Amino acid sequence: MIAQWQAIDLTALPPTLQQQSEHLLPMLTFARDSLDLALVLPDMLGVSERRDYLFIAQNEDERRATGGFISAVGTMSFEQGQLTALTVDHTDVFTGGPYPPPPLPFQRYMGIQLWVFRDGNWSPDVPTAARTLLQLYQIEHGTRPSHLLAFNQTALRLLLQATGPVVVEGQSTPVSATTLSAYIRTEYDRSIETGVHRKAFLGPLLQAIIARIQHESASIDLLTLATALKQALDERHLLLYTPDRDAARALANLGWDGAVHPGDQDFLLLVDSNMGYSKANVYIDQAITYTVDLRNPTMPTAMLAIQHHHTLASATPQFCPHWSEQPLPADMPSRYAALTDRCYWNALRVFTPPGSTLIDATSQPPAGSWGLPDLDDGVVTSAAGERATQVFATFLVVPPGGVRETVLRYQLPAGVLRAQADGWHYQLKLQKQAGQEAIPVQVEVLLPATAQVLDTGGLGAVKDGNQLQGTLQLNHDQTLDVSFR
């Protein structure tokens, strides 16, 4: 039905019908997705037997591969479609062991020698990260739930927009989507002052949201709630992992499994990981320019420019001390705010198609310009990554007020360009990092001088005879298709 609807030329309809019809395709798509999910949702909600979930709260203010630093953990159980148990704990439990060694960036940049649970989300491939987290949780707690659910502040905000404000135990005023950030930061500071473990306040908040959905559903627009959940899943602010093959396949078909999906042509996924014990991502803006050169179809190349801008006001960018030499200032009104006023330490990884080969890399300003030359040395490594990808990795620091641009040039495998009966086909899949907000991406495609464009793939009109260029907001996975002969 969806394919048939897409084949209809809406421009042939009267203007009034055009406007009304434009809303039907998203509704049809949503209905199809809902039906697919409905087939596996009963099992995931424990209709036939109890399902135990490990849930993790991720803080996107401190970016990690699957969304953010794991600030709280808990378990929840579903039976007969109802939540029957919920516990919340902090992530400073190190009573188990033995622990495996962590990935090398944790050792080099953070001085961490043991791979504990709160750092377990290093892989951007959610199924891989989930299995690691479940294993590390078992080492620390002695039990291993079968399923995993992860969420960040944005996911909670979307839920609160749908449910409306909720009354949280111990709070004099309800918590809403607009007051969520203030609530989290205030309670974080209060937990430090009182000695109560950090993120203990998440338990009452989650219980309030769940209670409102379960017991006050008559006052909630369920379509609005479903739309909020779909947006959180589409944009990877809400992550799900299940070991059940049928359910996992359904999630993958919907794009909700969080896996790295490189496809079989061109692919790009950027992954930031905050290595500075800070909440500096509050102030980090990012922009991407990706130029692919297909002028020689047998030797395609790519140039990727990644800009990180630390937007915290500063007269001039300052040198970045080592995190161990930067105590929290006593005059800051908030401990949380003090953690945002930091240089951004970033372990950057670029996931590309298998067979990609790095040609060269540059940085502006040059690596080490803002201190830490032993760490911020400009070295870019190349290694095999998840799902047969090729990963280019480097480390960079950005002080408040600073802008850092990293440029990579690399050879793409010839397979990114496919010969077809009517000419050539180039496809680029752009995958969004979990927990990341929308990033502006400019894509440029250089074609052979004699190319005749058959499909611009949404990149706009041809410029200068053989150049396609377009800008998009990367708030969910997107695919661009260009055809020419």
pLDDT the model gives residue 28: 63
pTM for this predicted structure: 0.91
Q: Which of 70-79, 89-98, 152-161, 196-205 has the highest mean pLDDT?
A: 152-161
Widest CA span in the chain:
71
C-beta separation of 459 from 447 below 8 A: no
pLDDT tier for residue 413 given thresholds of 50, 70 and 90? very high
pLDDT the model gives residue 5: 44
pLDDT the model gives residue 296: 96
Give CA angle at 364 (385, 447), nearest 5°.
65
pLDDT the model gives residue 214: 86
Buried b (16+ CB within 10 A) or exposed e, 432-465: bbbbbbebebebbbbbeeebebeebbebeebeee
Which among 90, 260, 53, 121 is positioned nearest to 188, based on CA atoms? 90
CB within 8 A of 413, min separation 6: which ones?
A: 300, 353, 354, 355, 356
Report how far residue 91's alpha carbon sits from residue 56's, in angstroms, rounded to the nearest whole number: 10
How many CA atoms lie within 13 Å of 266's alpha carbon, on the beta-carbon side?
Answer: 29
Does residue 162 have a pLDDT over 50?
yes
Does residue 18 have a pLDDT over 70?
no
| Residue 198 burial (10 A CB sphere; 0-12, 13-18, 19+) | middle
> Which one-letter amino acid corresponds to residue 427?
Q
Does residue 356 have a pLDDT over 90?
yes
Does residue 192 have a pLDDT over 60?
yes
Does residue 125 have a pLDDT over 60?
yes
C-beta separation of 301 from 359 below 8 A: yes
| Architecture of the domain spanning 266-484 | Sandwich (2.60)
Give the percent of the chain with pLDDT over 70.
89
Classified by CATH at the fold level, domain 45-253 comes out as Aminopeptidase (3.40.630)
3-state SS, residue 151: strand
Token pair belonging to 1: 């039905």
Domain chopping of the chain, boundaries? 45-253, 266-484
pLDDT the model gives residue 34: 65
C-beta separation of 401 from 284 below 8 A: no
Token pair belonging to 30: 């949503």
Rounded average pLDDT over 71-84: 91
Report how far residue 137's alpha carbon sits from residue 56's, in angstroms, rounded to the nearest whole number: 11
Rounded average pLDDT over 232-241: 98
Higher pLDDT, 352 or 214: 352
Rounded average pLDDT over 414-427: 94
